[in-house]
């Protein structure tokens, strides 16, 4: 039976075009109608080290890359040894090495990359040579491949096409017995190809975002680069200031003037932004913070992944005030929750945090075509004209959300600062008024519970066991459930709003006798949050905290392990 999915991986040192070749191949696959998810690993080095890029693709929906590899390219010798646990008896490993003494379950094949690169006249084309071989092995459309190679390497189209042709011809002559069969899509649907950071950027644009300030910090920098590149086309203001403190306060200032505003960073940068979060809380300024996590503490593992910042996000800022914490589980949800966050910021006039991680932020997938999507924008309680001179910016209301005016609004002047204040914004230390104003702000939580995204439920409510998770493990969990023989025994609850916790979640959880929490951290942070809201005692907790994501095969082993 012809399989309907396959995984390809390319490895080599930084500077050898690992990711660029991989992304070109991803686009070739999407042009054929395949669905895919990719994943890349790289150390925090400019050159050298060991980099990888892998893709799992299928004619059906793909939720995560697989651990087991079908096709492996080592663009330079000796970049395959650390991946032997990923090889199976059907894995093909290509590298320019003498494999005569190799003992392995995989098939090792010598690929004369240096010799072919010498024919082309450049050692820089080894990544394109691998594309030529892969295109042949998967029996893909040659012209589509060539068109995308030229699109990617416009100034160097000719030399890369030459490399592709040489490698494709070599594969035709020598590798016909190694061709990989896979079910091809019956029809080609228009799709995008985006990483999570780009999807967040598209969500910001489609949600009416107009001001973005950020200081570069891996793995959140992609949002800054993406939006900076779109400034002219979409009339954005994108600022790269001196540090994260400046970025957060610039974004808060822009939001005060009426811009739909955001900033983005990773854990260390967000630590510097905490005072701005508190300021937005008391001044009731609605703005968005993108927190794309990596392992900590401190510098931690700068280029790897973790879900270690959930509690940091929920309890960010000193003092008590309402905030919303959202968590996308994949690239498409990064788009969805990005524009949703801008709406929530406008409606609730309080900080909105979107917590992602390196896996989602820097991994790409076939997605909806974001440029074609139109989003309905909610601007909140904006007042455009006020009669008289007694505008109460912080007026007490039933839902705690007061009308807001922006600078230049006739009659809309008010005082905005970081002190506790009265309805006009003037500072106060009065005990009764301070308590009343605190309660006014906290009323926003009730509205947030009504309008924030609900959890996703996958599977049957008659299932025996409930998996609970948030963020990036979603893909590996869904992919695992797709492949498991006893998939009907499991349901999956994916939380998209991590704060405030909707009480409906308790009802769903209590319907199952056995609950399993899966988190990519070491201290069970979601469990801590749920325990803080209701009586919650999960049957099993599954953690991973080594900088690497969960893979579907790993999830299957963990779910089916005998106790």
- Please check whether residue 200 is in contact with residue 221, taking contact to mean a CB–CB distance below 8 angstroms: no
Whether pLDDT at 100 is above 90: no
Q: Is 516 left (phi over 0), alpha (psi -120 to 50) or beta?
A: beta
pLDDT digits (tens, 9 = 90+) for 156-205: 999 999 999 999 999 999 999 999 999 999 999 999 999 999 999 999 99
Structure-block tokens of residue 503: 């009480």
Q: How confident is the model at residue 229 (pLDDT cuts 50, 70, 90)?
A: very high
Per CATH, domain 456-560 is 3.40.50.720: no
State whether residue 280 is helix, strand or coil. helix
pLDDT of residue 176: 97
SS (H, E, C) 122-134: CHHHHHHHHHHHH
> Which H or E run includes 72?
strand 69-74
Sheet of 261-265: strands edge to edge? 237-239, 211-213, 261-265, 288-293, 352-357, 324-326, 497-499
DSSP 508-529: HHHT-SEEEEEESSSS-HHHHH
pLDDT of residue 256: 98
What CATH number has the domain spanning 5-178? 3.40.920.10
- Distance (Å, whole) CA 548 – CA 39: 10
- Distance (Å, whole) CA 286 – CA 280: 7
> Which H or E run includes 94?
strand 87-95
Whether pLDDT at 521 is above 80: yes
- Distance (Å, whole) CA 447 – CA 10: 48
Q: Would you say the C-alpha torsion 341, 344, 348, 349 has a positive or negative sign?
A: positive
pLDDT of residue 126: 97
* Fold match flag (193-372 vs 456-560): yes
pLDDT of residue 561: 79
pLDDT of residue 447: 97
State whether residue 470 is helix, strand or coil. strand
pLDDT of residue 46: 76
* Best CA proximity match to 357, nearest among 331, 323, 335: 331
pLDDT of residue 369: 97
Least confident range from 45-54, 66-75, 109-118, 260-269: namely 45-54
User: To the nearest whole number, what is the mean pLDDT of the chain?
Assistant: 96
Whether pLDDT at 562 is above 90: no
Q: Hey, how many other C-beta atoms are within 10 angstroms of the C-beta on 427?
A: 11
Class of residue 315 by CB neighbours under 10 A (exposed 0-12, middle 13-18, buried 19+): middle
Please report, to the nearest 10 degrees, the dihedral formed by the alpha carbons of residues 491, 497, 501, 504 taken in order: -50
User: Could you state, in order of their start, the residue ranges of all structural domains in the chain?
Assistant: 5-178, 193-372, 381-453, 456-560
- Please check whether residue 182 is in contact with residue 5, taking contact to mean a CB–CB distance below 8 angstroms: yes
Helix/strand number for the chain, H first, E second? 19, 20
SS (H, E, C) 336-359: HHHHHHHHHHHHHCCCEEEEEEHH
List of residues 6+ apart from 557 with CB closer than 8 A? none
Q: How far is CA 79 from the centre of its chain?
A: 27
pLDDT of residue 385: 86
Q: Hey, how many other C-beta atoms are within 10 angstroms of the C-beta on 274?
A: 16
Fold for the domain defined by 193-372 = Rossmann fold (3.40.50)
Structure-block tokens of residue 200: 């967040």
pLDDT digits (tens, 9 = 90+) for 359-412: 999 999 999 999 999 999 999 999 998 888 889 999 999 999 999 999 999 999
The pTM of this model reads 0.96
Angstrom distances, CA of residue 304 to CA of 26, 93, 425, 509: 22, 25, 44, 31
SS (H, E, C) 418-430: CCCECCCCCECCC
Mean pLDDT for the stretch of residues 95-105: 89
Whether pLDDT at 1 is above 60: no
Mean pLDDT for the stretch of residues 131-158: 97
Mean pLDDT for the stretch of residues 490-514: 97
Whether pLDDT at 538 is above 80: yes
Whether pLDDT at 52 is above 70: yes
């Amino acid at each position: 039976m012809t399989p309907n999915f396959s995984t390809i991986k390319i490895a080599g040192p930084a500077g050898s075009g690992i990711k660029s070749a991989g992304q070109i191949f991803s686009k070739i696959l999407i042009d054929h109608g395949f669905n895919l998810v990719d994943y890349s690993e790289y150390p925090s080095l400019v050159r050298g080290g060991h980099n990888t890029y892998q893709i799992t693709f299928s004619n059906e929906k793909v939720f995560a890359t697989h651990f087991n590899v079908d096709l492996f390219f080592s663009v330079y010798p000796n970049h395959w040894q650390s991946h032997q646990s990923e090889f199976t008896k059907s894995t093909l490993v290509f590298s320019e090495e003498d494999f005569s003494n190799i003992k392995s379950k995989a098939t090792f094949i010598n690929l004369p990359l240096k010799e072919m690169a010498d024919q082309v006249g450049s050692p820089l084309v080894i990544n394109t040579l691998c594309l030529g071989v892969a295109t042949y092995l998967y029996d893909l459309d040659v012209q589509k491949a060539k068109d995308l190679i030229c699109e990617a390497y416009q100034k160097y189209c000719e030399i890369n096409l030459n490399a592709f042709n040489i490698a494709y011809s070599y594969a035709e002559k020598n590798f016909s017995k190694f061709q990989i069969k896979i079910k091809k899509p019956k029809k080609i649907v228009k799709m995008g190809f985006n990483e999570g950071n780009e999807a967040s950027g598209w969500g910001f644009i489609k949600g009416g975002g107009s001001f973005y300030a950020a200081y570069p910090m891996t793995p959140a920098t992609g949002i800054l680069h993406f939006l900076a590149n779109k400034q002219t086309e979409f009339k954005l203001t994108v600022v790269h200031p001196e540090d994260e403190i400046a970025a957060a306060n610039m974004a808060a200032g822009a939001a005060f003037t009426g811009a739909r505003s955001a900033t983005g960073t990773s854990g260390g940068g967000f630590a510097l932004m905490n005072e701005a979060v508190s300021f937005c809380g008391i001044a009731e300024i609605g703005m968005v913070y993108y927190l794309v996590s990596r392992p900590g503490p401190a510098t931690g593992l700068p280029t790897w992944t973790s879900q270690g910042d959930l509690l940091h996000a929920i309890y960010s800022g000193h003092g008590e005030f309402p905030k919303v914490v959202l968590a996308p589980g994949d690239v498409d949800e990064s788009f969805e929750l990005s524009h949703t966050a801008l709406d929530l910021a406008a409606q609730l006039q309080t900080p909105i945090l979107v917590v992602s991680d390196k896996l989602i932020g820097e991994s790409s997938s076939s997605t909806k075509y974001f440029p074609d999507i139109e989003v309905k924008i909610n601007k909140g309680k904006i007042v455009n004209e006020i009669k008289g001179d007694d505008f109460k910016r912080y007026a007490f209301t039933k839902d705690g959300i007061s009308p807001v005016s922006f600078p230049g609004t006739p009659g809309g002047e008010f005082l905005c600062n970081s002190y506790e204040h009265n309805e006009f914004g003037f500072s106060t230390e009065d005990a009764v008024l301070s308590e009343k104003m605190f309660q006014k702000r906290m009323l926003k939580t009730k509205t947030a519970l009504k309008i924030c995204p609900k959890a996703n439920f996958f599977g049957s409510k008659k299932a025996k066991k409930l998996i609970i998770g948030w963020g990036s493990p979603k893909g590996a969990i869904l992919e695992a459930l797709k492949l498991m023989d006893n998939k009907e025994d499991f349901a999956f609850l994916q939380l998209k709003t991590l704060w405030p916790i909707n009480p409906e979640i308790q009802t769903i959880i209590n319907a199952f006798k056995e609950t399993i929490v899966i988190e990519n951290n070491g201290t069970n942070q979601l469990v801590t949050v749920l325990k803080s809201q209701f009586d919650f005692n999960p049957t099993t907790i599954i953690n991973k905290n080594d900088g690497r994501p969960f893979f579907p095969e790993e999830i299957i082993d963990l779910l089916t392990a005998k106790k």
